[in-house]
A = this chain, B = another copy of it.
C-alpha cells in the first residue's frame, strides 16, 4: 500500500466559527493508494475523538497500526487498491496538526490556553481547504465514526457539491445532555489537576497527567458496552503480580488504570478539552433553530448511517433520527443498526456484515 505522510501548511490561515482566527496552520495528513486521473476516487476519513491521521497500515517499521486498519487497506472495505484514501489530524489535535501544544507563530510561544475554540464546522472547513490543496473537486466518500461521523454529516451539509457519499457511523446529529455531562466531568478532572496551570502547563514543564488519566478512564467506560464489559471482566479479581496500581482489586479497575495511564502519556490535555467541547457544541441543526429536516434538505450526497446496538454513548436511536429527518426531505439515506458487541467502539472493528455494507455502499 503506497502511504504518504505530509505536514501541509496553510499560509492563508482560517477564520473560525467562534470569530477567532488562526493566521497560519498545519495539517498532518496521511494518504493511502493513488489518486486517479480524473480525481474521482478520493475517500476522506474523519477521525474520532482521540484518533489522528494515522488511520491504516504502518508508516515505518516501528510505527503502530492505524486506528481503522481493519477497514482500510488493499482489498479491504475501503480498498486502497481502488481508492485514494486521505486522513488528517484534526485542527486542535496533538498529533502534528496545529493545536494547543503548537507554537503560535505570532508570539513564538506555545498556544496553551490561548488556543481558540474549534468546532466540528471548523474541522470540516479546514478539511475543505485540504481538499482544495489536493485539487479534489468531489470526494467519492467522506466517512467517519463517532465525532468523525459528525464531520461526515457536516460535510454533506456544508459542502453538498463536494462529496458523492457520506458514511456516518456511531454518531448523532447533536450531542445529548448526558454526553455533555460526561465530558464536563472529564474536563473538570483535567482542569483541577495541580499541574494544569489554567492550560499553560507547558511553560511549567509538567503535564496534568492525573486529570487526563481520570478523564480517559471515564471516557473508556462510555465507549464499551456494559454487557461486553461484564463478559470480559465480570467481578474477577486482579492477580497481585499484574496490578498496575496499589488500590486495584478487580480486573476492570486494572484495565481502566492501565488504559488511562497509557493515554495520559500520549495525549495533550488541552486537546482533550478542546475535542470534548467541539463534540458537545455540535448540533447540525443549530443554524436552522433546531430544524434538522430543513438542515438536511440541501444534502446531495447519498448517506449511509450505521448505529450499533450496544452503543450507549450515541445509541441507535440517534442514527435513526438522522435517517428519519433525511428521508422526510427526500435525501437518499440507508440506516442500519448492527450488533457490535464493543459498544460505541464497535465502529472501529470489522465484522462480515459491517465490511460488506461499507463495500457495497462505496461501490453502488
A contact set with B: CB distance below 8 Å: 174-178, 180-182, 184-185, 187-189, 191-194, 210-211, 213-214, 217-218, 221, 226, 229-230, 232-235, 247, 249-250, 252-253, 256-257, 260, 277, 280-281, 283
Q: What is the minimal beta-carbon distance from A207 to any residue of chain B, in angstroms?
A: 13
A140–B271 alpha-carbon span in the complex (Å): 57
| A283 partner residues in chain B, CB cutoff 8 A | 235
Nearest-CB residue, chain B, relative to A210: B192
Neighbour of A180 across the interface among B184, B232, B252, CB < 8 A: B252
On whether the beta carbons of B230 and A177 are closer than 8 Å, the reply is yes
Do A178 and B229 contact each other (CB < 8 Å), given the known contacts A257-B188, A260-B188? yes
On whether the beta carbons of A280 and B185 are closer than 8 Å, the reply is no
Neighbour of A221 across the interface among B182, B187, B211, B226, CB < 8 A: B182
On whether the beta carbons of B217 and A252 are closer than 8 Å, the reply is no
| A277 partner residues in chain B, CB cutoff 8 A | 249
Q: What is the minimal beta-carbon distance from A355 to any residue of chain B, in angstroms?
A: 29
Nearest-CB residue, chain B, relative to A253: B184
| A250 partner residues in chain B, CB cutoff 8 A | 177, 180, 184, 280
On whether the beta carbons of A181 and B253 are closer than 8 Å, the reply is yes
| A230 partner residues in chain B, CB cutoff 8 A | 176-178
Q: What is the minimal beta-carbon distance from A247 to any residue of chain B, in angstroms?
A: 7
On whether the beta carbons of A185 and B218 are closer than 8 Å, the reply is yes
Do A214 and B189 contact each other (CB < 8 Å), given the known contacts A177-B226, A252-B177, A252-B180? yes
On whether the beta carbons of B256 and A217 are closer than 8 Å, the reply is no
Q: What is the minimal beta-carbon distance from A113 to any residue of chain B, in angstroms?
A: 11
A257–B181 alpha-carbon span in the complex (Å): 10
| A257 partner residues in chain B, CB cutoff 8 A | 184, 188
| A229 partner residues in chain B, CB cutoff 8 A | 177-178, 181
Nearest-CB residue, chain B, relative to A182: B221
Q: What is the minimal beta-carbon distance from A165 to any residue of chain B, in angstroms?
A: 29
Nearest-CB residue, chain B, relative to A193: B192
Q: What is the minimal beta-carbon distance from A125 to any residue of chain B, in angstroms?
A: 21
Extra inter-chain contacts (15) besides given A185-B214, A194-B194, A214-B214, CB under 8 Å: A176-B226, A176-B230, A177-B230, A177-B250, A180-B250, A180-B253, A182-B218, A184-B250, A184-B253, A184-B256, A184-B257, A185-B217, A187-B247, A192-B214, A249-B277
Q: What is the minimal beta-carbon distance from A244 to any residue of chain B, in angstroms?
A: 12
A180–B182 alpha-carbon span in the complex (Å): 17
